[in-house]
Structure 1
Amino acid sequence: MKLLNKSTMNDFSDFIPKKQMKLHLSQHKTYEETKEIIKRLQIQNLRRPASLIINMIQPLLWLLLFGALFQNAPISLFEKYTVQYREFLNPGIIIFTGFNSAINAGLPLIFDREFGFLNRILISPISNKNALIYSCILHTWFIATTQIVIIILMTIYQINNNINFNINQIIISLIISTIIISNIAIISICNALILPGHIEFIALTTLLINLPTLFASTALAPLSFMPTWLQVICCINPLTYAIEIIRNHSLNEFISMHTEIINTTWLTVNIYQGLSMLILINIISVVIVKNIIRYKYD
């Protein structure tokens, strides 16, 4: 019996691999794959210039229309700030622009799913399938950052340098916006991979997420203008902390990490705590979305 088993093992010994294969993900190759997918997304935008132009014009319309609508509001209306409404509105438009671009980050993926291109990409010899996610986030960040820079330059031109827009303020605006963009873009990509189609995706982002998230924040009005129940919702909304950090940095000459950005009878938050909340929410979103995508596609 032992001789039979030994002879059987010898017969199949040629089919046993002599060397164990190990998969090494090259960072350089992942970078090249991400760059090529970003190039593909850019070509898609160039072939549809109307959508790109609309995305560029939309935040400027918000800034112009809302600023003109409330331009005669008293300058001392907003708590301790003696500024015009347009100056108060600008940080909210900056964050909402990044949010609006990031919420549509998964749209190319869901169209690739429907037209079958995603299956071709997944079976292609890509060493790291995460390059799909990296490319969508970086492409969205580039477009949103371009919009934000245009808004900042437009605001400087409109207010005739009434507020000192130094380089530090621009850097702070871009850093906070990057946190929001990466967080929302990851959630949008997750929705694109689990929702049935683009109709459900657009309905979810436009009707249930986009405008309610905007109005349930301090983008258009301060907390003191809101009833208590809406203040609670605004303090749960991460956009509120991002908006208030940029707003306090732009309206105050001297600011530190312990400067209060939210001060109500039931909640007090400073810049350090608000920034920590944004980073923590971003990390939690990445972990949850990564596990969801791994469960669905691995």
Structure 2
Amino acid sequence: MKTDINFQQITSPTLSTENPPNFFGEIVQETLALTRRLFIQLQRRPSSLAAGIIQPVMWLVLFGALFQNAPQGLFGATTNYGQFLAAGVIVFTAFAGALNAGLPVMFDREFGFLNRLLVAPLASRFSIVFASAIFIISQSLLQAAVIVGAAAFLGAGLPDAAGLSAIALIVFLLALGVTAISLGLAFALPGHIELIAVIFVTNLPLLFASTALAPLSFMPGWLQVIATLNPLSYAIEPIRYLYLHSNWGLNDVVMHTFWGDITFGGALLVLLGFAVVALLSIQPRLRKTLA
């Protein structure tokens, strides 16, 4: 009888379903812990964040002063080159920060910390990637907010609340896509030297092959084609439109390309598609590395 009672207790549904594991909650907990680790590193070495804010503000001041006497109409409807430049600086700062997203992961690989995480009893190893993405996107949004404030102080103006929300969405989509690519490279390339080389080779060419510093009409034909294929242009032009127009809508045309007009909503769809394609493209590599 005693044996039967013990067997019933062991096989009781109440005992077998007691305290079921919360898979989603564990992933959230792991992601928050790893994200907190990255912010602690930033707190201990704030120079990278300070440099990421000081440099674009210097761009606003110096380039704005350099072209302040440019002829009217050279840069479109704006009468202030600082107002024209603000959108480009916001987007390029977010792009540059997201492009560096893979460096902390690469250093964790080289110092062996990533191996410790991979053998740890994590609910999902993708929390490593989620934490890096959250950290970089948060940093990009913070930098964008500082640049928007600095541009307003320098006379570029300030979009309304809806416009600021649209800027945050654009920065988020661009940073998400570029962060995904950078993290994929961090797991694919052999070391940080190769990753830094890719960053240096990619950074400035994409800046000059976009509408960050000059409008499409100012460029030669071949460069206009490249700029209209550059995802940075699809982030810059909607933000620039927000600075120039207090009343805006998703159907408003923000860029004229050789194949047609791009609306505000169309530019957002391009950025969304870019982020989705980037996330899907790195999935095989991440699954192979994190397996």
Asked whether the two chains share a fold, i.e. TM above 0.5, the reply is yes
| Equivalent residue letter for 1:71 | Q
Stretches of structure 2 that go unaligned for 5 or more consecutive residues are 1-15
Shift of 1:242: 0.8
CA deviations on 1:84-113 (whole Å, 9 max, x unpaired) are 110000011111111011001111100000
Say which SS state the counterpart of residue 261 (structure 1) adopts: strand
Aligned to 1:170: 164
Hey, what's the Cα distance between the residues in 2 that align with 1:114 and 1:239? 31
The one-letter amino acid paired with 2:172 is: T
Say whether residues 1:117 and 2:110 are aligned partners: no
Instruction: Give the match for residue 239 of structure 2.
Output: 246
Among 157, 168, 180, the residue aligned to 1:186? 180
Counterpart in 2 of 1:292? 285
Work out the CA distance in 1 between the residues paired with 2:172 and 2:137.
7
1:278 aligns with 2:275: no
Task: Quote the offset at 1:24 in angstroms.
Answer: 6.5
> What is the one-letter code of the residue matched to 1:46?
Q
Alignment partners' CA distance in 2, 1:283 and 1:25: 28
- The residue type equivalent to 2:183 in the other structure is I
**CA–CA separation in structure 2 for the residues paired with 1:52 and 1:271:** 31
Taking structure 1 as reference, are residues 164 and 61 closer, same or farther at Cα in structure 2, changes over 3 Å only? closer
Does the Cα contact within 8 Å between 1:59 and 1:97 map onto a contact in 2?
yes
Correspondence 1:50 to 2:43: no
1:269 alignment partner, SS class: strand
Q: CA deviation at 1:57?
A: 1.2
Q: Distance in 2 between matches of 1:93 and 1:292?
A: 32
Alignment of 1:99 onto 2:92: no
Residue number in structure 2 paired with 1:3? none
**Alignment check: 8 A CA contact 1:59 1:147 kept:** no
Distance 1:227 1:25 in 2: 57
Residue 213 of structure 1 aligns with which residue? 206
Sequence identity (%): 39
- Aligned structure 1 segments of 4 or more residues deviating by more than 4 angstroms: none
The residue that corresponds to 1:13 in the other structure is none
Q: Give the C-alpha shift of residue 67 in structure 1.
A: 1.2
Distance in 2 (CA, whole Å) between partners of 1:184 and 1:82 is 29
Amino acid at match of 1:67: G
> CA shift at 1:62, angstroms?
1.6
2:74 to 74, 77, 93: 77
Q: Quote how far apart the aligned CAs of 1:266 are.
A: 3.8
Q: Distance in 1 between matches of 2:59 and 2:231?
A: 21
- Aligned to 2:154, the other structure's residue is in SS state helix
- RMSD over aligned Cα atoms: 1.7
Residue identity in the other structure for 1:259: D
TM-score by length of 2: 0.89
Q: Unaligned 5+ residue runs, structure 1?
A: 1-18
Change (3 A) 1:223 1:216: same
Amino acid at match of 1:200: E
Match of residue 58, structure 2, among 34, 58, 61? 61
d(CA) in 2 for partners of 1:235, 1:243? 11
